[in-house]
Amino acid sequence: MRRFLAAVGLCLLLPASALAAPQHGLSIFGDLKYPADFQHFDYVNPDAPKGGKMSLIGVVARDTFDSFNGYILKGDPAQGDTFDSFNGYILKGDPAQGVELMFDTLMARANDEPDAIYGLVAESADLADDGKSVTFRLRPEARFADGSALTAEDVCDSFRLLSTQGHERIRITIRDVEGCEVLGPQDLRYRFKGDKTRDLPLTVAQLPIFSKAYYAKADFTTSTLAPPLGSGPYTVKDYKPGQYVAYGRRPDYWAKDLPVNRGRWNFDEIRFEYFRERAAGFEALKSGILDLREEYTSRDWATAYDFPAKRDGRVLMEVLPDETPSGAQGSFFNLRRDKFQDIRVRQALNLAFDFEWSNTNLFFGLYDRTASFFELSPLKAQGTPPADELALLAPMRDRLRPEVFGEAVLPPVSDGSGQDRRLLREASRLLDEAGWVADGTLRRNAEGETLSVEFLIDSPVFERILGPYVKNLKLLGVDATIRTVDEAQYQDRLKNFDFDMISSRFAGGMTPGDSLRVFFGSASADAPGSYNLSGLASPEIDALIDNVVAARTREELNVAGRALDRVLRAEQFWVPNWHKGSHWIAHWDRFGRPATKPKYDRGIIDTWWYDPEKAARITKAD
pLDDT for the residue numbered 68: 40
| DSSP bridge partners of 457 | 484
Contact yes or no for 320/607 (Cβ under 8 A): no
Provide the CATH topology of domain 25-217.
D-Maltodextrin-Binding Protein; domain 2 (3.40.190)
pLDDT value at position 279? 86
- Which pLDDT band holds residue 321 (cuts at 50, 70, 90)? very high
Reported as a single tens digit per residue, the pLDDT across 128-141 is 999 899 999 999 99
User: At 11, is the pLDDT very low, low, confident or very high (cuts 50, 70, 90)?
Assistant: very low
Is the confidence at residue 60, as pLDDT, over 60? no
Cβ within 8 Å of residue 438, ≥6 positions away: 428, 431, 476, 477
Average pLDDT for 260-285: 94
Reported confidence tier of residue 71, pLDDT bands at 50, 70, 90 = very low
State what percent of residues in the chain have pLDDT above 70. Answer: 93
Task: Indicate the pLDDT class of residue 20, thresholds 50, 70 and 90.
Answer: low
Q: What is the pLDDT of residues 371-429, one digit of tens each?
A: 999 999 999 999 999 999 999 999 999 999 999 999 999 999 999 999 999 999 999 99
The mean of the pLDDT values for the chain is: 91
Does the pLDDT at position 18 exceed 60?
A: no
Checking if the pLDDT of 539 tops 60, the result is yes
Q: Among 108-122, 181-195, 408-422, 518-532, which is the least confidently predicted range? A: 518-532
Left if phi > 0, otherwise alpha if psi is -120 to 50, otherwise beta: which for 349? alpha
Residues of the chain with CATH 3.40.190.10: 25-217
Q: How far is CA 143 from CA 78, 250, 256, 407, in A?
A: 36, 12, 12, 55
pLDDT of residue 116: 93
- From the CB of residue 215, how many other CB atoms can be counted at a distance below 10 Å? 18
**CB neighbour class for 345 (10 Å; exposed up to 12, middle 13-18, buried from 19):** buried
For the four alpha carbons of 228, 232, 238 and 240, in that order, the dihedral sign comes to negative
pLDDT tens-digit readout, 550-580: 999 999 999 999 999 999 999 999 999 999 9
Q: Over pLDDT 90: what percentage of the chain? A: 78
Size of the chain in residues: 622
Q: What is the pLDDT of residues 164-180, one digit of tens each?
A: 999 888 898 899 999 99
Going by C-alpha positions, the residue among 510, 502, 506 that lies closest to residue 518 is 506
pLDDT at 75: 40
CB-hemisphere CA count at 13 Å for 619?
7
Burial 480-515 (b: 16+ CB within 10 A, else e): bebebeebeebbebbeebebbbbbbbbbbbbbbbbb
* Range(s) of the chain covered by CATH 3.10.105.10: 328-579
Least confident of 50-54, 68-72, 428-432: 68-72
Burial class from Cβ neighbours inside 10 Å (0-12, 13-18, 19+) for residue 422 reads exposed
Classify residue 198 as left (phi > 0), alpha (psi -120 to 50) or beta. Answer: alpha
Query: Which pLDDT belongs to residue 15?
Result: 33
Instruction: Measure the CA–CA gap between 387 and 313, rounded to whole angstroms.
Output: 55
What three-state secondary structure class fits 591? strand
| Residue 244: CB atoms within 10 Å | 19
Neighbours of 222 (CB within 10 A): 12
Query: What local confidence, expressed as pLDDT, does residue 127 receive?
Result: 93
pLDDT of residue 93: 86
pLDDT at 622: 61
User: Where does the pLDDT of residue 4 fall: very low under 50, low under 70, confident under 90, or very high at 90 and above?
Assistant: very low
How would residue 619 be classed by pLDDT, with cut points 50, 70 and 90? confident
434/452 Cα distance (integer angstroms): 14
Give the tens place of pLDDT for each residue, 229-253: 999 999 999 999 989 999 999 999 9
Indicate the pLDDT class of residue 13, thresholds 50, 70 and 90: very low
Task: Check the CA dihedral 270-276-278-279 and report its sign.
Answer: negative
Helix (H) or strand (E) holding 26: strand 25-27
The reported pLDDT for the residue numbered 506 is 79
More confident residue, 98 or 530: 98
**CA pair distance 268, 609, nearest whole angstrom:** 9
Q: How many Cβ atoms sit within 10 Å of the Cβ of residue 251?
A: 8
* Nearest residue to 168 (alpha-carbon basis) of 536, 532, 493, 544: 532
Whole-structure pTM value: 0.85
What mean pLDDT do residues 288-300 have? 94
Residue 61 in this model has a pLDDT that exceeds 90: no
> What pLDDT, on a 0 to 100 scale, did the predictor assign at position 515?
79
Statement: residue 14 has pLDDT above 70: no
pLDDT band at 80 (very low <50, low <70, confident <90, very high): low
**pLDDT tens, 325-378?**
888 899 999 999 999 999 999 999 999 999 999 999 999 999 999 999 999 999
| Span 328-579 CATH architecture | Roll (3.10)
